Structure 1
Amino acid sequence: MENIVIGSGPAGRLASLELGKLKKEVTLIEKNHIAGTCLNEGCMVICALTDITKFIDSNNRFNNYGFIKSQLDISYEKIVEKIIETQEKLRKLNQMENESFGNNIIYGEASIDGETVNVNGESFEYDNLLIATGARPFIPDIKGCEYGLTNKDILKLDKVPEKLNIIGGGIIACEIANIYSTLGSEVNVLARSTFLKELDDAAKKYLLERIMPNVNIIENTNIKEAFKDKVLLENGDELEGIPFFATGRTPNSEIAEGFVDLNDDRTIKVNDMMQTSKENVYAAGDVTGGYLLTPVARMEGIAAARNMAGYLNKISYSCIPQTLSLNMEASFVKNEKSECSEEDKATIGIPGIAGPSSFWNILTGDTGYTEVEFDKENNKINRINSISPSSTSDVAYLSFLMRMDYDLDDYSEFLEIHPSTDSNYKIIKNMWL
Structure 2
Amino acid sequence: MKNIVIGSGPAGRLGSLELGKLGEEVTLIEKKHIAGTCLNEGCMVVCALTDITKFIDENRRFNSYGFIKSQMDVSYEKIVEKITETQEKLRYLNQLENESVGNNVIYGEAKIEGEQVIVNNETYEWDNLLIATGARPFIPEVPGKDYGLTNKDILKLDDVPEKLNIIGGGIIACEIANIYATLGSEVNVIVRSTFLKELSEATKKYVLENIIPNVNVLENTSVEEVFKDKILTSDGKELEGIPFFATGRVPNSEIAEGFVELNPDKTIKVNEMMQTDVSNVYAAGDVTGGYQLTPVARMEGITAARNMAGYANKVSYNCIPQTLSLNTEVSFVKNEKSELTDDEKATIAIPGIAGPGAFWKILEGKTGYTEVEFDKNKNKINRINSISPSSTSDVAYLSYLMRMDYDLDDYSEFLEIHPSTDTNYKIIKNMWL
Deviations 1:66-114, CA, capped at 9 Å, x for gaps: 0000001000000000000000000000000000000000100001011
CA distance in 2, matches of 1:234, 1:190: 10
Tell me whether 1:144 sits opposite 2:141 in the alignment.
Answer: no
Letter in 1 for 2:237: D
Tell me, which stretches of 5 or more residues in structure 1 are unaligned?
A: none
What does residue 202 of structure 1 align with?
202
1:237 to partner: Cα distance: 1.1
C-alpha contact 1:20 1:103 (8 A) present in aligned 2: yes
What does residue 263 of structure 1 align with?
263
Deviations 1:139-169, CA, capped at 9 Å, x for gaps: 1011100000000000000100000000000
| Corresponding residue SS for 2:27 | strand
CA distance in 2, matches of 1:375, 1:232: 46
1:281 to partner: Cα distance: 0.1
1:138 to partner: Cα distance: 0.2
* 1:283-362 equivalence runs, <5 A: 283-362=283-362
What does residue 3 of structure 1 align with?
3
What does residue 68 of structure 1 align with?
68
Q: Please identify, of 87-96 and 415-424, the stretch whose mean Cα deviation from structure 2 is larger.
A: 415-424
1:420 to partner: Cα distance: 2.7
What does residue 21 of structure 2 align with?
21
CA distance in 1, matches of 2:292, 2:194: 20
| Corresponding residue SS for 2:364 | coil
| Corresponding residue SS for 2:188 | strand
C-alpha contact 1:130 1:283 (8 A) present in aligned 2: yes
Identify if the C-alpha distance between structure 1 residues 314 and 421 changes in structure 2 by more than 3 Å, giving closer, same or farther. farther
CA distance in 1, matches of 2:421, 2:407: 19
CA distance in 2, matches of 1:85, 1:71: 26
Identify if the C-alpha distance between structure 1 residues 133 and 303 changes in structure 2 by more than 3 Å, giving closer, same or farther. same
CA distance in 1, matches of 2:432, 2:271: 39
CA distance in 1, matches of 2:243, 2:214: 18
Deviations 1:304-339, CA, capped at 9 Å, x for gaps: 000000000111001000000000000000001114
1:356 to partner: Cα distance: 1.7
What does residue 119 of structure 2 align with?
119
C-alpha contact 1:355 1:390 (8 A) present in aligned 2: no
| Corresponding residue SS for 1:27 | strand
Tell me whether 1:371 sits opposite 2:371 in the alignment.
Answer: yes
CA distance in 2, matches of 1:19, 1:118: 21
C-alpha contact 2:191 2:220 (8 A) present in aligned 1: yes
After TM superposition, the score normalised by the length of structure 1 is 0.99
* 1:140-289 equivalence runs, <5 A: 140-289=140-289
Letter in 2 for 1:365: G
The runs of at least 4 aligned residues of structure 1 exceeding 6 Å deviation read none
| Corresponding residue SS for 2:363 | coil
CA distance in 1, matches of 2:88, 2:237: 43
Tell me, which stretches of 5 or more residues in structure 2 are unaligned?
A: none
1:344 to partner: Cα distance: 1.3
Identity %: 82
RMSD over equivalenced CA pairs, Å: 0.7
CA distance in 1, matches of 2:206, 2:339: 28
* 1:373-412 equivalence runs, <5 A: 373-412=373-412
C-alpha contact 2:354 2:421 (8 A) present in aligned 1: no
1:355 to partner: Cα distance: 2.3
CA distance in 1, matches of 2:368, 2:221: 29
1:421 to partner: Cα distance: 5.3
What does residue 35 of structure 1 align with?
35
1:235 to partner: Cα distance: 1.9
CA distance in 2, matches of 1:417, 1:146: 50
C-alpha contact 1:394 1:421 (8 A) present in aligned 2: no
Letter in 1 for 2:89: K
